[in-house]
Amino acid sequence: MNKITLFLCFTLVLGLFTSCKKNGTGVFLFSVQDDVDLGAKVDAEIKSSGEFTILDRSSNAAAYNYLNTMRDQILAGGAVTFKDEFAWELNIIDDDSTLNAFCTPGGYIYVYTGLIKYLKNSSSLAGVMGHEMAHADRRHSSSQLQQQYGLDILLSLLSSTTGQNGELLGNVAASLTSLAFSRADEKEADKYSVDYLCPTAYDAAGAARFFEKIGTSSTPAFLSTHPNPENRVANINADADALTCSEDLENPDVVSGVPYTDFQAMF
Ligand SMILES: [Zn+2]
């Protein structure tokens, strides 16, 4: 193999990895169906492990209705790639002391009561929700898990029956609560959050409102410290300004007739 051929091959391999990882069509290692299956397994583990106190749906119907309405508005905007393929199921974790939200591959979304109480309006929450949904929809989370655990181990997890690989499944579930995404993935999730919210009544730069409130000192791991919060606010605002987004469709702080402060008071 001469040098030019070798160079072309190397470039082709690099190009494949770049394009496959970014296009979200499932040709890179995991299939979209693998994301769906892994998400369902991890979600079942999170719910059965006893590590998390997940608020019951029937006795917290109003709170779940609020979040589901917000999710449906985001999905109705048409910018989510795997709108119909992924579960997009909301879960509320009863933990006032934790500022966190995360989303499994395949779209099982977990929001802590601590985050809901900390944010000041519905657009901020919609921005964070959009950001977390983007990590699943752009397949950052499954890609990150592949890097962390390796493809073979994750595939063995998918093919195992209930009761097998319990410890591994627990470890993967725990990893998801604090996955360290790359700088590029964080930036992309911020951008897609804007795209998702743009057609809705929420402030398309809602995620930036979160960073403005939290400042530069203590950004929690789930939104990562890189790129730095100031740059993220500027980038998110610029992305929103570059689009012609819906405005004043309704008062976004009233979701299904419920003001955000009333929603916060449900916990
Ligand atoms: Zn993130």
Burial category of 156 from C-beta neighbours within 10 Å (exposed 0-12, middle 13-18, buried 19 and up) = middle
Distance from residue 190's CA to the centre of ligand 1 (Å): 8
Distance from residue 6's CA to the centre of ligand 1 (Å): 37
Distance from residue 234's CA to the centre of ligand 1 (Å): 16
Q: Which tens digit of pLDDT belongs to each residue from 203-212?
A: 999 998 888 8
Distance from residue 194's CA to the centre of ligand 1 (Å): 13
> For residues 103 and 130, is the Cβ–Cβ distance under 8 A?
no
Distance from residue 246's CA to the centre of ligand 1 (Å): 24
Distance from residue 48's CA to the centre of ligand 1 (Å): 25
Q: Which tens digit of pLDDT belongs to each residue from 6-38?
A: 333 333 333 333 333 443 443 357 899 999 999
pLDDT score at 214: 77
Q: In total, how many domains does the chain have?
A: 1
Domain that residue 135 falls in: 27-264
Residue 145: inside a domain, yes or no? yes
Q: Which residue from 198, 199, 185, 202 is spatially nearest to 239, judged by alpha carbons? A: 198
Distance from residue 58's CA to the centre of ligand 1 (Å): 30
Residue 83: inside a domain, yes or no? yes
pTM of the model: 0.86
Rg (Cα) of the chain, in Å, rounded?
A: 19
Residue 256: inside a domain, yes or no? yes
Residue 116: inside a domain, yes or no? yes
Residue 3: inside a domain, yes or no? no
Residue 91: inside a domain, yes or no? yes
Predicted confidence (pLDDT) at residue 137 exceeds the cutoff of 80: yes
3-state secondary structure (DSSP) of residue 259? strand
3-state secondary structure (DSSP) of residue 111? strand
Residue 14: inside a domain, yes or no? no
Which distant-in-sequence residues (6+ apart) come within 8 Å of 258 by Cβ? 62, 66
Residue 16: inside a domain, yes or no? no
3-state secondary structure (DSSP) of residue 67? helix
Distance from residue 181's CA to the centre of ligand 1 (Å): 6
How does DSSP assign 160-223, residue by residue? Answer: SPTTTTHHHHHHHHHHHTT----HHHHHHHHHHHHHHHTTSSS-TTHHHHHHHHHTTT---GGG
